[in-house]
Amino acid sequence: MKAVSGTAPADDIFVPHEHSEGSAGLTVEGVVFHGRSLRVYLLSEDKYSLAADLPRQSEHAAMTTGNRFFASLRPGTSCPILPA
């Protein structure tokens, strides 16, 4: 597993209901409360470990361990990916 860290505003993360061009398949590994956000730990299909902070009141607040979904970044989003 390759642990990486990336930061992008929650508004720039797009979660389509099905696979679309440019989206990546992710599996929820864990969810914890983090201030006013939910920190969601994810594992990509390529075995990259990621973390995302999502608003608690978002439509995705019901994510639980084992959920699978697709996500992509809005075009033009600045999201540096660094080794964790």
pLDDT tens digits for range 12-71: 777 766 777 878 888 999 999 888 888 888 888 888 887 787 777 766 667 789 998 888
**Within a domain: residue 43?**
yes
**Within a domain: residue 22?**
no
Containing structural domain, residue 63: 34-75
In this prediction, residue 41 carries a pLDDT of 86
**Within a domain: residue 56?**
yes
Name residues whose C-beta falls within 8 Å of residue 62's C-beta, 6 or more positions apart in sequence.
Answer: none
**Within a domain: residue 10?**
no
Is the whole-model pTM more than 0.85? no
- Whether residue 61 contacts residue 67, with contact meaning beta carbons closer than 8 Å, is answered with no
**Within a domain: residue 6?**
no
**Within a domain: residue 65?**
yes
More confident residue, 8 or 27: 27
In this prediction, residue 54 carries a pLDDT of 79
Q: Into how many domains does the chain fold? A: 1
Question: What's the half-sphere exposure (Cβ side, CA atoms, 13 Å) at 61?
Answer: 9
**Within a domain: residue 58?**
yes
